[in-house]
Structure 1
Amino acid sequence: METSPGQQGVTPPPNQEDVDITRHLGRSRYFGLRDFFDRVDHYVTTSAFGYFFTLSGTGHPQEIAGATFFREVRAGITTFATMAYIIAVNAALLAQSGGTCVCDLTDRHACDKIDSYVACKEDIRRDIVTATAAVSGLASFMFGFLTNLPVALAPGMGLNAYFTFQVVGYNGSGPISYRLALTAVFVEGLIFIFLALTGMRQWLVKLIPSTIKTATGVGIGFFLTEIGLSYSAGIGAITGGGKATPLALGGCPQELLDEVTGMCTQGQMSSPKLWVAVFCGGIVTAFLMAFRVKYALILGIALVSVLSWPRNTPITYFPHTDEGDSRFEFFSQVVMWHPIERTLNQLDWSFGGSASQFALALFTFLYVDIIDATATLYSMVRFCGVVNPRDGDFPRSTLAYCTDAFFISVGALLGSSPVTAFIESGAGIAEGGRTGLTAMTTGLCFTAAVFFAPIFASVPPWATGCTLILVGCMMIRQITQINWRYIGDVLPSFVVMAFIPFSYSVAYGLIAGVFVYAVLNGLVGLVVWVTRGYVEPREYDLKEYWTWKGSGRAPWFIRAIRHGRNTGQENDEDQPGDSGHAMRDLDYDNRRENSSSRTASSGKDDQPMSPSNERWER
């Protein structure tokens, strides 16, 4: 077969025989492995197994076009790669609370000078490494199996920082003990199950002003950044400044810190650990993220960790001390099962004089988790294209919320902070994941990580510090979604964003913001009502709409009581437009609505616009 000569400047069409030969040679380079995997992929995809997960070509009424077995597996591995940092970061943060370790000193920072206490904290960290990997594996696997959604679960960032530094406090200096805080998390899971079964969980979040929800995420981002810059769980760039200034420049070696004030006596910004963390853990990671490398966060942590493992260097994590020798001995085992001993089933039901603080912690866990988990889950399922455009709901939503709530309580039994849906699941979805097989694959990867506890437990804090800063940076970007045109929305949002990091408390930040919102907008509304609209602020028509009735569909039992119908009937008064308004409020993580990109970067990166709702149109 001859090809026609091409015109000048125009490439002639390829010869079909040449194309076939090239394709054959390309396949032969893999010694037939590609054909073998294609056959296996087709066999599994079209089997009863594939039918259960509605894969493409199975004949299922709601089969998902393009969903194949190996594509789902690849997407699950991608999700794990973007989430794996949580194993080391969560353990590093929660261990700062001291866990179940006992120290009777008034100055809890002085407890770090007691060798037995330091050794106990190291055991706590190793326990939480195992607990984090175990609960993430179980939760992700069961969530994918029960809901058939490609969303992975793990202990959430932000809540673990609040749990450690505000509820329990550094070395247990907070208002309630580690055991009582775990009890609050356990009770939170039970309450969430009740809210999910009644339909209240997804409805309650609509009652919260959107500006407060957005500002909460931004404030937590600043909070994580502050932690990442600190000595205890970060790179050590800042330290306490005493009475004159709240914060001061740090970066000096640990031995140059003043024991009383915690400030650097000299040598600011001279610590080699700081600069290794900045360049290898920060700049390199950001460079990889610029090219949308999905493994950027875990690669940055791994690079700094590997550089910190040799013993005879100024940045070693295994100095020739009793503590360093203990760490190195555990690290040398590489592969082993580390049982959970100090954090397993440590719930405490004797509240004593801490009942009010327990209630405050429980309320904050509920409030923040309702916003974070519900909004994240909605943004991910909308990205998948499975949201029902009629009511803003998605398939098996009640089961999804119940599964999430159940593993919050399971995580508390293992000693971990609340489990939540991870926005990093968007990386796997962008890779082609559309079913629960993606989440199940991620869960299996987390389960395998349980047996590599010595590796994950040997990640130094300066290796994860820049990760906290980058995660905080990605959470802060939603600040553009705040309504900056009306003072009644701006001031409460600013108060929330400022109070969360500066008070070192998510709870106090939320309370301050809600208080300012209620008082300011209540007074303005009162004046407008008394004057019947003759006196109102100039930008009053630019304020963000809010109503105590919420938006979208009310919970099923309220609809049943109101109309005397069965729980499965539609509410005639529900307006389709309300669901879109509700999704706009809930989906505050899905920012780039006009993006044409189909690739999600590592961390909490912008998510592309969700595909069409094919599963509802079939």
Structure 2
Amino acid sequence: MKNHAADLAARFNTRVATSFIGRIFRLEGSSHSKEIDGTTFLKEVRAGATTFAAMTYIIAVNASILSQTGGPCVCDETNRIDCDKIDSYVMCKEEVRRDLVTATSAIAGLASLVFGLFTNLPIALAPGMGLNAYFAFQVVGYNGSGSIPYGVALTAVFAEGLIFVFLALTGMRQWLVKLIPSTIKSATGAGIGLFLTEIGLSYGSGIGAITGGFNATPLAIAGCPVERINPDTQIRDTAVTYFPHTPEGDSRFELFRKVVSINPMKHTLNALDWNVGQHGTQFALALFTFLYVDIIDATATMFSMVRFCGVVDNRDGDFPRSTLAYCCDAISISISALFGCSPVTAFIESGAGIAEGGRTGLTAMTTGFLFLLSIVFGPIFSSVPPWATGPALILVGCMMARQITEINWRYIGDTLPSFVVIAFVPFSYSVAYGIIAGMFLYTALNLMISLTVRLSGGRLEPDNYDMKEYWTWKAPGRKPWFVRAFRNATYSAKDTHESSPQTFDSHGGLDYYLVEAPVVP
């Protein structure tokens, strides 16, 4: 029976490989000139399912984090915490959270499908951790207590996506990320990891281990002081504490009983507010931070995943169809804003699918299809409480904090700015402040050290000065495509008398149609 099933699977894989699907995704046996060794349809599907399983937590976690802003819900209380005492506002927040469950599943599905189809890379996209926390707790704030309203913040995300399209088409996105010191990149990722851990440990959006633990988690099941017992949150006939006998709890339970249902995005769909004039400075700061963190996060994740796949070109450090990949990511960011979500980014959990053998866009498309399917099971994902998503935040924070090992701890000019970034992000509760502080200190400190060394003729140097990380504004690697296109036109005008065959860029995508410049001695 086992051999028979294996034979059926092999024949099915062969049939798919020889079809147009096999040629599009360059499966082994497709007779494509650049077919990818070891790829089969069923292996790609299995890898996509693995990636989805690793990413499923984002549906509930992202909705839980973003709903803390209150979305477009209206509250006139000066102290925004008092808004939680208003039943109508609490019900509105719960509806926003359900909308965001649908929105998260929808944008993750669409983005992954488009990315896999156009780039043929096994990388899945979804609203990014870290950026959603910055969006919710710094930009918009708890119950809208931040610097700009929810709708204006979505406009910043939408504008960021359009700017990214321009940066991707001009090749400047790759160039900009190479300009940022690698130690600051690593420190930013580690700082965001600690930020997420703090959120996962906090009251309201996590397990409640820092403050208000008795109210944040159902500790009454294991034992709770009598004075802490709340009759509204005790076990009742139908469920445990997440469904208290209150209007909000009854509404949650009625939704949970449906199991299968599609929740329309009544509050978050197209909730953009274009009245950005009165929030000029804060809007610009939010836009800059989204741009900066996304440039580092998405670009670094894509590079690490394609390097894991083994498709990075050692000649210029680029990867196949990179321009299309960045464009798909950028367009998905703007679409996520229309759905009411924070920016979309490439997920590091894609590595789980790659480890299972995923090498083509079929892996990402399978993940996207499963995310779209999860929209139907919205009631289940909407019923995941904060104390269940809190541990996921802590684990994600742990994975991101591993980047701390990539920091150059041997030289003070790299160590101190990196430490400032790591410390500022969680303690200031702001990704933007951490980045600004770290970059300012890096520039000032290294400039003073460089001037001191030069003026002293090399006699005054800090310890381990020779171990500093090399940095230059001349980013290494391939030039942007428009620079190469201009050079092609220049060379063609000079060398029209020569008859040399035209060769095409092997990177494919938008770069595929650019003619390489002839070698000029």
Q: Normalising by the residue count of structure 1, what TM-score does the alignment of the two structures yield?
A: 0.76
Deviation at 1:388, TM superposition (A): 1.2
Q: Read off the aligned partner of 2:143 and give its amino acid letter.
A: N
Provide closer, same or farther for how the CA distance between residues 536 and 275 of structure 1 changes in structure 2, counting only shifts above 3 A: farther
2:21 and 2:406 mapped to 1: Cα distance?
43
Q: Read off the aligned partner of 2:97 and give its amino acid letter.
A: R
1:34 and 1:157 mapped to 2: Cα distance?
39
Q: 1:56 aligns with which of 7, 18, 28?
A: 28
Provide closer, same or farther for how the CA distance between residues 314 and 443 of structure 1 changes in structure 2, counting only shifts above 3 A: closer
- 2:219 counterpart of 1:271: yes
Deviation at 1:311, TM superposition (A): 4.3
- 2:475 counterpart of 1:550: yes
Which residue number in structure 2 is paired with residue 385 of structure 1? 310
Q: 1:523 aligns with which of 422, 436, 448?
A: 448
Query: Does structure 2 retain, via aligned residues, the 8 Å contact 1:272–1:315?
Result: no
Superposition pairs of residues 193-342 of structure 1, within 5 angstroms? 193-239=165-211, 250-253=212-215, 271-272=219-220, 311-312=236-237, 316-342=241-267
Provide closer, same or farther for how the CA distance between residues 572 and 119 of structure 1 changes in structure 2, counting only shifts above 3 A: farther
Q: 1:345 aligns with which of 251, 270, 283?
A: 270
Deviation at 1:535, TM superposition (A): 2.1
Q: 1:90 aligns with which of 59, 62, 65?
A: 62
Q: Read off the aligned partner of 2:282 and give its amino acid letter.
A: Q
2:164 and 2:454 mapped to 1: Cα distance?
38
Which residue number in structure 2 is paired with residue 419 of structure 1? 344
1:314 and 1:68 mapped to 2: Cα distance?
45
Superposition pairs of residues 431-450 of structure 1, within 5 angstroms? 431-450=356-375
Provide closer, same or farther for how the CA distance between residues 539 and 41 of structure 1 changes in structure 2, counting only shifts above 3 A: same
Q: Deviations over 1:280-320 (max 9, x none)?
A: xxxxxxxxxxxxxxxxxxxxxxxxxxxx9974599521011
2:159 and 2:462 mapped to 1: Cα distance?
44
Deviation at 1:46, TM superposition (A): 2.2
Deviation at 1:383, TM superposition (A): 1.0
1:313 and 1:238 mapped to 2: Cα distance?
30
Q: Deviations over 1:441-491 (max 9, x none)?
A: 111100000111111100000000011001101111121111111111111
Deviation at 1:233, TM superposition (A): 0.7
1:131 and 1:310 mapped to 2: Cα distance?
31
Which residue number in structure 2 is paired with residue 497 of structure 1? 422
Please state whether the residue corresponding to 2:384 is helix, strand or coil: coil
Deviation at 1:37, TM superposition (A): 3.0
Q: Read off the aligned partner of 1:235 and give its amino acid letter.
A: I
Query: Does structure 2 retain, via aligned residues, the 8 Å contact 1:97–1:165?
Result: yes
Q: Read off the aligned partner of 1:115 and give its amino acid letter.
A: D
Query: Does structure 2 retain, via aligned residues, the 8 Å contact 1:163–1:181?
Result: yes
Deviation at 1:538, TM superposition (A): 2.9
Please state whether the residue corresponding to 1:252 is helix, strand or coil: helix
Deviation at 1:271, TM superposition (A): 2.9
Query: Does structure 1 retain, via aligned residues, the 8 Å contact 2:116–2:123?
Result: yes
Deviation at 1:527, TM superposition (A): 1.2
Query: Does structure 2 retain, via aligned residues, the 8 Å contact 1:312–1:319?
Result: no
Q: Read off the aligned partner of 1:85 and give its amino acid letter.
A: Y
Please state whether the residue corresponding to 2:213 is helix, strand or coil: coil
Q: Read off the aligned partner of 2:24 and give its amino acid letter.
A: F
- 2:79 counterpart of 1:107: yes
Which residue number in structure 1 is paired with residue 516 of structure 2? 569
Percent identity (aligned): 67
Q: Normalising by the residue count of structure 2, what TM-score does the alignment of the two structures yield?
A: 0.90
Deviation at 1:571, TM superposition (A): 9.5
1:124 and 1:390 mapped to 2: Cα distance?
48
2:309 and 2:76 mapped to 1: Cα distance?
52
Q: Deviations over 1:409-428 (max 9, x none)?
A: 00000000000001111111
Query: Does structure 1 retain, via aligned residues, the 8 Å contact 2:47–2:363?
Result: yes
Provide closer, same or farther for how the CA distance between residues 507 and 69 of structure 1 changes in structure 2, counting only shifts above 3 A: same
Provide closer, same or farther for how the CA distance between residues 393 and 309 of structure 1 changes in structure 2, counting only shifts above 3 A: farther
- 2:7 counterpart of 1:35: yes
Q: 1:430 aligns with which of 330, 340, 355?
A: 355
Query: Does structure 1 retain, via aligned residues, the 8 Å contact 2:220–2:234?
Result: no
Q: Deviations over 1:81-127 (max 9, x none)?
A: 00111000000000001100011111111111110000000000000
Q: Which moved more, 1:345-354 or 1:448-457?
A: 345-354
Which residue number in structure 2 is paired with residue 590 of structure 1? none
Q: Read off the aligned partner of 2:419 and give its amino acid letter.
A: F
- 2:53 counterpart of 1:81: yes
Query: Does structure 2 retain, via aligned residues, the 8 Å contact 1:133–1:446?
Result: yes
Please state whether the residue corresponding to 1:161 is helix, strand or coil: helix
Which residue number in structure 2 is paired with residue 182 of structure 1? 154
Which residue number in structure 2 is paired with residue 476 of structure 1? 401
Query: Does structure 1 retain, via aligned residues, the 8 Å contact 2:234–2:244?
Result: no
Instruction: Name whichever structure is richer in helix by fraction.
Output: 2
2:235 and 2:120 mapped to 1: Cα distance?
44
Q: Read off the aligned partner of 1:321 and give its amino acid letter.
A: T
Q: Read off the aligned partner of 2:334 and give its amino acid letter.
A: S
Q: Deviations over 1:24-72 (max 9, x none)?
A: x643xxxx44433332222112222211211011111111111011111
Q: Deviations over 1:374-413 (max 9, x none)?
A: 0100111111111111111111111110001001000000
- 2:136 counterpart of 1:164: yes
Provide closer, same or farther for how the CA distance between residues 52 and 557 of structure 1 changes in structure 2, counting only shifts above 3 A: closer
Please state whether the residue corresponding to 1:320 is helix, strand or coil: coil
1:311 and 1:133 mapped to 2: Cα distance?
31
Q: Read off the aligned partner of 1:486 and give its amino acid letter.
A: Y
Calculate the aligned-residue CA RMSD, in Å. Answer: 2.2
Q: Read off the aligned partner of 1:160 and give its amino acid letter.
A: N
Query: Does structure 2 retain, via aligned residues, the 8 Å contact 1:108–1:172?
Result: yes
Which residue number in structure 1 is paired with residue 500 of structure 2? none
1:316 and 1:527 mapped to 2: Cα distance?
63
- 2:388 counterpart of 1:463: yes
Provide closer, same or farther for how the CA distance between residues 529 and 558 of structure 1 changes in structure 2, counting only shifts above 3 A: farther
2:91 and 2:190 mapped to 1: Cα distance?
35
Task: State the aligned residue count.
Answer: 490
Deviation at 1:562, TM superposition (A): 7.1
Deviation at 1:556, TM superposition (A): 2.8
1:552 and 1:178 mapped to 2: Cα distance?
39
> Is there any run of 5+ residues in structure 2 with no aligned partner, and where?
225-232, 493-513
Deviation at 1:133, TM superposition (A): 0.3
- 2:79 counterpart of 1:131: no
Which residue number in structure 2 is paired with residue 403 of structure 1? 328
Query: Does structure 1 retain, via aligned residues, the 8 Å contact 2:318–2:478?
Result: no
Query: Does structure 1 retain, via aligned residues, the 8 Å contact 2:48–2:353?
Result: yes
Q: Read off the aligned partner of 1:569 and give its amino acid letter.
A: E
Deviation at 1:202, TM superposition (A): 0.7
Q: Read off the aligned partner of 2:214 and give its amino acid letter.
A: C
Q: Read off the aligned partner of 1:343 and give its amino acid letter.
A: T
Deviation at 1:141, TM superposition (A): 0.6
> Is there any run of 5+ residues in structure 1 with no aligned partner, and where?
1-24, 240-249, 255-268, 277-307, 574-618
